[in-house]
C-alpha cells in the first residue's frame, strides 16, 4: 500500500479463480494441453496432486472441482456430484493401471499383495479380478507408489501411473515381472469399459456456485475436444520431454484412454458400483445438464 493513500475494501477484493485438481500423470496431459490452448488455463487455479490426495482435498474444501478415483467418488457420492460427459476410462487395455507381480497371477494365492495408497480404484479392481480368477487368500497391504520398493516387501502390487505405462510398452524393462492390464481384464470379464477417474464437485459448491461449475465443466469439455483433434501434435511435443515416443503417446491418449462418459462408460461404472457393494447407485441421464448421482 502506498503511504498516505487509503484503499477501499472493495478495491482489495479480486475474483478468486476456481481451484481445479488434476494428477501429474500423463493421462491428464491432454486436458492440460487443451486448457492451455483454449486459454481457459488463465481462468482457473490448476492444482496437481496424487489421485487419492485430490479426493481428500476436494472433500476438505481445498479444491472446488477435481478428477478423483472412481472408488473415492462411490464412497462419498452423498457429498459429490459427477460432471457429465467427461472421465478417464478405457474400453480394453488402459496401459497405465496394472497388477505387477513376481509370479503368474494364479500363483498369488496366500502371497503378499500390495495396493498403492495413491491408487484406490486400481487396488479395488485388482481385488475383484483376483477373486474372479479364484485366487484365494492374498494378504493385502498398503504401500507407496514406488513399484520397486513395494516389491521388495510384497509379491505383487496394483498401481496406476507412468511407470506402469513404461512396463506396458517396454518388455525389457519388466525384468521378468508379470504385468496384467486391469482395463483388459475388466473388459474380458464384463464386456464393458472401466471408468478409473471422474470429474466431481462437492454438492455444496454446486448449489452455491452453479455458474462457476458450468464454466469449469465447459472448459474441461472444450479442452478435451481440442486435445483429441490435435493429438498428433500433442504427442509429438510431449515426446520431447518423456521417455515415450510420439507414436506410443498418441496411441495412449487416443486409443487406450477414453475421456468421455457415454452410456457404455456409465454401464461399466454402474457394474463396478454393484460389484463393490454400492447396489443403490444409479445414474440420472435426463436432460442435457443431467447430474449423475444416486437417486435420493
Say if residue 186 is in the same domain as residue 199: no
Give me the sheet containing 178-181, strands edge to edge.
Answer: 139-143, 112-116, 156-160, 97-101, 178-181
Are 122 and 67 within one domain?
no
Residue 292, pLDDT score? 35
User: pLDDT digits over 168-204, tens only?
Assistant: 998 878 888 999 999 999 999 999 999 999 999 999 9
224 falls within a domain: yes
> Residues 140, 268: one domain?
no
Work out the pLDDT band at 11, boundaries 50, 70, 90. Answer: very low
**Shared domain check, 180 and 198:** no
Strand partners, 86: 260
285 inside domain? no
Q: Is residue 9 part of a domain?
A: no
β-pair type (80-90, 194-202): antiparallel
Instruction: Note whether 108 and 134 are same-domain residues.
Output: yes
Determine, yes or no, domain membership for 5: no
| Cα atoms found within 13 Å of the Cα of residue 284, Cβ hemisphere only | 14
Q: What is the DSSP string of 20-87?
A: EEE-SSGGGHHHHHHHHHTTGGGGSEEEE--HHHHHHHHHHTS-SEEEEEHHHHHHTTTTEEEEEEEE
Stretch 60-74: mean pLDDT: 97
Cα–Cα separations (whole angstroms), residue 202 to 116, 270, 272: 25, 20, 22
Considering 190, 219, 249, which residue would you say is the last residue of a domain?
A: 190
Kindly state whether residues 86 and 47 are assigned to the same domain: yes
Q: Is residue 74 part of a domain?
A: yes
Q: How much is the pLDDT for 207?
A: 94
Query: Model confidence over 129-172: pLDDT tens digits?
Result: 999 988 988 999 999 888 889 999 999 999 999 999 999 998 87
Provide the mean pLDDT of the chain. 90
Q: Can you give the pLDDT at residue 146?
A: 87
Report yes or no: 256 and 95 within 8 Å, Cβ to Cβ.
yes
Give yes or no for residue 221 having a pLDDT over 80. yes
Burial class (CB in 10 A: 0-12, 13-18, 19+), 286: exposed
- pLDDT band at residue 61 under the 50/70/90 scheme: very high
Residues spanned by the domain of 244: 14-90+194-275
Residues 201 and 172 in one domain: no
Q: Is 3 inside any structural domain?
A: no
Same domain, 271 and 247: yes
Residues 105 and 182 in one domain: yes
Nearest-CA neighbor of 222 among 55, 43, 53, 47? 43
Q: Which residue has the cell 507407496?
A: 144
Residue that is last in its domain, among 190, 205, 224: 190
117: CATH? 3.40.190.10
* Domain co-membership, 26 together with 42: yes
Residue ending a domain, choose from 139, 156, 190: 190
Is 184 a domain residue?
yes
pLDDT at 294 over 50: no
Residues 236 and 270 both lie in one domain: yes
Say yes or no: 128 and 252 in one domain.
no
Number of domains in the chain: 2
- From residue 212, give the alpha-carbon distance in Å to each of 83, 157, 238: 13, 39, 30
Three-state SS across 202-232?
EHHHHHHCHHHHHHHHHHHHHHHHHHHHCHH
286 within some domain: no
Amino acid at each position: 500500500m502506498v503511504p498516505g493513500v487509503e484503499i477501499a475494501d472493495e478495491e482489495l477484493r479480486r475474483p478468486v479463480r476456481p481451484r481445479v485438481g488434476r494428477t501429474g500423470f500423463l493421462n491428464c496431459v491432454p486436458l492440460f494441453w487443451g486448457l492451455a490452448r483454449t486459454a481457459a488455463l488463465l481462468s482457473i487455479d490448476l492444482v496437481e496432486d496424487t489421485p487419492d490426495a485430490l479426493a481428500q482435498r476436494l472433500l476438505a474444501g481445498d479444491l472446488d472441482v477435481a478428477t478423483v478415483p472412481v472408488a473415492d467418488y462411490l464412497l462419498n457420492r452423498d457429498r459429490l456430484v459427477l460432471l457429465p460427459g467427461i472421465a478417464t476410462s478405457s474400453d480394453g487395455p488402459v496401459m497405465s493401471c496394472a497388477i505387477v507381480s513376481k509370479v503368474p497371477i494364479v500363483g498369488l494365492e496366500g502371497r503378499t499383495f500390495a495396493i498403492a495408497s495413491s491408487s484406490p480404484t486400481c487396488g479395488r479392481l485388482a481385488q475383484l479380478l483376483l477373486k474372479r480368477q479364484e485366487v484365494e487368500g492374498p494378504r493385502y497391504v498398503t504401500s507407496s507408489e514406488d513399484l520397486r520398493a513395494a516389491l521388495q516387501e510384497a509379491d505383487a502390487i496394483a498401481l496406476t501411473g507412468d511407470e506402469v505405462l513404461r512396463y506396458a510398452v517396454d518388455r525389457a524393462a519388466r525384468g521378468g515381472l508379470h504385468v496384467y492390464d486391469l482395463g483388459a481384464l475388466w473388459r474380458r470379464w464384463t464386456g464393458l469399459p472401466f471408468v478409473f477417474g471422474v470429474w466431481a464437485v462437492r454438492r455444496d459448491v454446486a448449489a452455491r456456485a452453479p455458474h462457476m461449475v458450468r464454466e469449469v465443466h465447459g472448459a474441461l469439455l472444450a479442452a478435451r475436444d481440442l486435445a483429441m483433434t490435435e493429438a498428433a501434435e500433442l504427442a509429438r511435443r510431449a515426446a520431447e520431454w518423456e521417455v515415450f515416443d510420439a507414436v506410443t503417446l498418441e496411441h495412449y491418449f487416443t486409443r487406450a484412454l477414453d475421456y468421455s462418459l457415454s452410456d457404455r462408460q456409465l454401464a461399466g461404472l454402474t457394474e463396478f458400483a454393484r460389484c463393490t457393494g454400492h447396489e443403490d447407485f444409479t445414474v440420472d441421464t435426463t436432460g442435457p445438464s443431467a447430474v449423475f448421482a444416486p437417486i435420493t
